[in-house]
Chains A and B, each alone.
Chain A
Amino acid sequence: MAAGSSQDITTDLLVIGGGIHGCSAALNAALRGMRVVVFEKDTVARHASGVNAGGVRKLGRHVAEIPLSLHSMSIWNRIADFLDDDCGFQPAPQIKIAETEDELDTLRERVAELNGLGYTHEVILDRKTMRGYLPAVAEHCVGALASLQDGFAQPYQTTFAFQRKGIEKGVRFLENTPVDRVFKTGKDWKVVAGGQTFTGRFVLNCAGAWGGEIARQIGDHAPVSAYAPMMIVTERVRPFCDAVVGATGRPLSFKQMPNGTVVIGGGRPGIPDPATNRTHMQMAQLRHSAQTAIDIFPIMRGAQIVRSWAGIEGLMPDGIPVIGPALHAEGAFHSFGFSAHGFQLGPGVGDIVAELIATGRTQAPIAPFSVGRFSQVSTKPNEELS
């Protein structure tokens, strides 16, 4: 690094966390003319952003997330032009299977609710239409809920592409650089990392599962916990499924990649250890994911698992992220705690947060994601130590 440790480095925006949200917000802020530094304690996309299941899904979103998801989708649909990298993005239907009539009724209620709110992207597939999309689905499946213009992408490739485009636009990435301290002096924010102090008008917390501590230093209470959804990938098998499939009555996320491998996830958690960056698999739990995949696609019985893994996600108690300004300190913002479904939101929320920081406002309805929805114990940001 050019500057000595005693020297301050001054910039506009200090982003903490090099996942898809940090990288996307940093790029969007740079596109708005800001000078940006991103601090990543490991390497970009090391955790949830690099190893998630890659679903680009509007289907089944919390209603508050739908506008954000729709905005994000509009960026996904032109992602190759935006980032000069196709991110492995493939448009594909997302289909949530009903295994019983009761489950199908629940799905019908969901569609009615969304239609009432003016959303039409989720539709019911009857048994025959569902089988048209999924010829290999098990006989007992009765129908499905679908969002036909969704897709999937390569998570590491995508986050890496955001980083590269960011660098091209002048964003400075400091990898393997954990943030030791965040505090406010006057109107400015300071980040101490890698033996240096960085000064910026704004700080953005995109620290995922590690976002709670950063929020605390900013002066907010955000009860985020580490969560490690387990996933499986098989060897290459001949193409038989080109939709992303979930289930209604039990956790499942299932898709065949264009290279033939099948990725099976669905939220059964392993054991995260955020202090060491490791996650431990729980095979006694993961077996249920294997069973569900075989129940819904019986032809998967003969496929071989090549690898299983779990990334570290930040989970909020109510399952939706924290997005927006800090409650108690001006110039600080949050965008973390995406609770294992933040990948699709990355492009859109990064744009919204950058707009919010650069202009002080956004049209996007982000009020439901305020950190203020959690009871606040701390009300004072870290101040400079005297």
Chain B
Amino acid sequence: MKACDLAIIGAGPAGMAAATEAANAGLSVIVLDEQPAPGGQIYRAIETVPEERRKILGPDYAHGAGIAQAFRNCGATYIPEATVWNINPDLSIDYSRHGGSAQVSAKHLLIATGAVERPTPLPGWTLPGVTTAGALQILLKAHGGVGDDVVLVGSGPLLYLLAQQMIAAGKPPKAIVETIDRERYIKAARHLPRALAGFGYLRKGLSMMRQIRQAGVPRFSGAHDIRIEGVHRAEAVVFSVGGKAHRIETTSVALHQGVVPNQQATRLLGCDHAWNESQRCFVPKLDVFLESSIENVFVAGDGAGIAGAKSAAMRGRLAALRVAQKLGHSNGADIRALQADLKRDEAVRPFLEALYAPSRDILQPADETIVCRCEEVTAGAIRRAVDLGAPGPNQVKSFLRSGMGPCQGRMCGLAVSAIIAERRKEEPEAIGYYRLRPPLKPLLLSELAQLEPEATRSEPL
């Protein structure tokens, strides 16, 4: 078994920056990532993207090239196309690659598995042709594909960034249907003074809005009662604004209600999590060096709480420096400066979180709306289980199989917790989340049967 000082799961900005920092400090580092090339979702295909596409995607995306290059040159062992399916309490890690499983073992672990899109249950969201906004951005980044009648639906900066990139690609979205209303701007305004510290972000936001306006993309604000119509696939988005009904025909609907930490790995390990009311999601509890409640397990990047790509890289470096310090490879001199930079970079977040808070439509979907896509469990079925007495997501799961399909609860977990919390009139923190169990991703029975038992602690680390 390969052993190392620091194992990193995920090769996005946090994982790449952490690996570079740690390797430069003299640590042995192994990076496991599911994609064939580094970059994560934010810098997807960063090493191979053609020049014209790089221009469309903009300078923030292009910034990832330097991070990836430094990572490639840092000397860390990089294992791409590796799907981590189990992490043991001794920090040995089982992963699957090309149909077989192997193990690495680590003294320290950095979970840099980023964010996933918040579940957006609304009528018709399971129809083919309905995707997340992130999915269309990946199609554009990695494959140069763009739709010609896309309707963007929801809330959050990614909607406008994607719109801007589509405009640059010559295919503006057909419409943007926003779930935020004017009232939200007023609510968010109180966070503006602090957000001014992140002036760069605000300026970029205003610039995006300007380009969308100039391109003549229709925008609908304060949309509610959104549903997607279609028989075999999406045919139209239907919604109301201020009592007026709208219907826009489209073959492609991109949903977005912000992103949330990917909790799979931290939950599997049993790290403590807290409910973040501002971000409306669970976030692992971390100390000021990003170490979790489990000793030697760190979390960086959006998995530590949503803060964006720049913060992700800084958090990766911070965690790496802390591990180096613990191992006596660093005096920790740069740690304070990084913590200050992070604070500055995150200043804009409360404003964004207040402005782009998820819509009530998706937080409390109608009874007939499917919440667990895999097992086709509706919001009403979940509420009925709660009314019978099921106290939390694990009992609802045992009862209804929500979260027991192939996505293992990734697409419904937060929505299920929120629905139970609302029904029981309790806080999501008290309701909790699915207990996660290996495998982290579905695994062939034959692959488990062929698992080579490896000496776990006999080799020197």
Most A CB within 10 A of own CB, among B401, B404, B437, B448:
B448
How distant is B441 from chain A, measured CB to nearest CB, in Å? 9
A160 touches B86 (CB 8 A): no
Residue A136 interfacial (CB < 8 Å):
no
Residues of A within 8 A of B442 (CB): 235, 304-306
B448 touches A287 (CB 8 A): yes
How distant is B405 from chain A, measured CB to nearest CB, in Å? 7
A304 touches B406 (CB 8 A): yes
The complex places the Cα of A232 from the Cα of B443 at a distance, in Å, of: 11
A43 touches B395 (CB 8 A): yes
B399 touches A302 (CB 8 A): no
B445 touches A284 (CB 8 A): no
Given A156-B398, A163-B389, A303-B444: A294 in contact with B406 (beta carbons within 8 A)? no
- Which residue of chain B has the shortest Cβ distance to A285 in the bound complex? B453
Residues of A within 8 A of B446 (CB): 290, 294, 301-302
The complex places the Cα of A25 from the Cα of B311 at a distance, in Å, of: 56
Given A156-B399, A281-B437, A301-B445: A43 in contact with B391 (beta carbons within 8 A)? yes
Residue A50 interfacial (CB < 8 Å):
yes
The complex places the Cα of A235 from the Cα of B405 at a distance, in Å, of: 7
Residue A157 interfacial (CB < 8 Å):
yes
Overall SS of chain B's interface:
loop
Residue B333 interfacial (CB < 8 Å):
no
The complex places the Cα of A154 from the Cα of B450 at a distance, in Å, of: 30
The complex places the Cα of A155 from the Cα of B399 at a distance, in Å, of: 10
Residue A367 interfacial (CB < 8 Å):
no
A160 touches B444 (CB 8 A): no
A39-77 contact mask (Cβ, 8 Å, vs B): 1 or 0: 000010100001100000000000000000000000000
Residues of A within 8 A of B395 (CB): 43, 45, 50, 156, 160
The complex places the Cα of A293 from the Cα of B404 at a distance, in Å, of: 21
Residue A259 interfacial (CB < 8 Å):
yes
Residue B392 interfacial (CB < 8 Å):
yes
Residue A187 interfacial (CB < 8 Å):
no
Residues of B within 8 A of A291 (CB): 449
Most A CB within 10 A of own CB, among B398, B406, B408, B450:
B398
B398 touches A157 (CB 8 A): yes
The complex places the Cα of A307 from the Cα of B446 at a distance, in Å, of: 15
The complex places the Cα of A152 from the Cα of B213 at a distance, in Å, of: 62
Partner of B391, one of A154, A164, A175, A281: A175
B404 touches A306 (CB 8 A): yes
The complex places the Cα of A303 from the Cα of B401 at a distance, in Å, of: 18
Partner of B445, one of A278, A300, A307, A309: A300
Residues of A within 8 A of B89 (CB): 280
Residue A234 interfacial (CB < 8 Å):
yes
A234 touches B399 (CB 8 A): no
Residues of A within 8 A of B439 (CB): 305-308
B444 touches A308 (CB 8 A): no
A307 touches B451 (CB 8 A): no
How distant is A29 from chain B, measured CB to nearest CB, in Å? 20
Residue A364 interfacial (CB < 8 Å):
no
A307 touches B448 (CB 8 A): no
B94 touches A283 (CB 8 A): yes
Residue A145 interfacial (CB < 8 Å):
no
Residue A286 interfacial (CB < 8 Å):
yes
Residue A137 interfacial (CB < 8 Å):
no
Residues of B within 8 A of A301 (CB): 444-446
- Which residue of chain B has the shortest Cβ distance to A279 in the bound complex? B437
Residues of B within 8 A of A235 (CB): 405-406, 442
Partner of A307, one of B94, B390, B437: B437
Residues of B within 8 A of A233 (CB): 404
The complex places the Cα of A290 from the Cα of B447 at a distance, in Å, of: 9
B448 touches A286 (CB 8 A): yes
A306 touches B405 (CB 8 A): yes
Residues of A within 8 A of B94 (CB): 283
A149-169 contact mask (Cβ, 8 Å, vs B): 1 or 0: 000001111001001100100
Residues of B within 8 A of A287 (CB): 448-451, 453
Residues of B within 8 A of A157 (CB): 398-399
Residue B270 interfacial (CB < 8 Å):
yes
The complex places the Cα of A156 from the Cα of B58 at a distance, in Å, of: 52
Residue B438 interfacial (CB < 8 Å):
yes
Residues of chain B in range 9-46 having any CB-CB distance to chain A below 8 Å: none
Given A304-B444, A309-B437: A283 in contact with B398 (beta carbons within 8 A)? no
Residues of chain B in range 411-461 having any CB-CB distance to chain A below 8 Å: 437-439, 442-446, 448-451, 453
- Which residue of chain B has the shortest Cβ distance to A310 in the bound complex? B437
Residue B88 interfacial (CB < 8 Å):
yes
B451 touches A284 (CB 8 A): yes
Residues of B within 8 A of A51 (CB): 398
- Which residue of chain A has the shortest Cβ distance to B390 in the bound complex? A160
How distant is A312 from chain B, measured CB to nearest CB, in Å? 13
Residue B288 interfacial (CB < 8 Å):
no
- Which residue of chain B has the shortest Cβ distance to A257 in the bound complex? B401
B453 touches A284 (CB 8 A): yes
Given A300-B445, A307-B437, A309-B437: A160 in contact with B389 (beta carbons within 8 A)? yes
The complex places the Cα of A156 from the Cα of B405 at a distance, in Å, of: 18
The complex places the Cα of A284 from the Cα of B448 at a distance, in Å, of: 9
Residues of A within 8 A of B399 (CB): 156-157, 160
Residues of chain A in range 236-289 having any CB-CB distance to chain B below 8 Å: 259, 261, 264, 278, 280-281, 283-284, 286-287
The complex places the Cα of A5 from the Cα of B127 at a distance, in Å, of: 55
The complex places the Cα of A261 from the Cα of B401 at a distance, in Å, of: 11
- Which residue of chain A has the shortest Cβ distance to B94 in the bound complex? A283
Given A306-B405, A307-B404, A308-B439: A281 in contact with B86 (beta carbons within 8 A)? yes
Residue B340 interfacial (CB < 8 Å):
no
The complex places the Cα of A280 from the Cα of B268 at a distance, in Å, of: 10
Q: B residues within 8 Å of A by Cβ? A: 86, 88-89, 94, 270, 388-392, 395, 398-399, 401, 404-406, 408, 437-439, 442-446, 448-451, 453
Question: What are 10 A-B contacts defined by CB distance under 8 Å?
Answer: A45-B398, A50-B395, A283-B448, A287-B451, A291-B449, A304-B443, A305-B444, A306-B406, A306-B442, A308-B439
- Sorted from nearest, which 3 A-B pairs have the closest CB atoms? A156-B398, A290-B449, A291-B449
Give 11 A-B pairs besides A50-B398, A281-B88, A287-B450 with Cβ atoms closer than 8 angstroms.
A160-B388, A160-B390, A163-B389, A235-B405, A235-B442, A278-B270, A280-B89, A281-B86, A287-B449, A294-B445, A306-B405
Q: A residues within 8 Å of B by Cβ? A: 43, 45, 50-51, 154-157, 160, 163-164, 167, 175, 232-235, 259, 261, 264, 278, 280-281, 283-284, 286-287, 290-291, 293-294, 300-309
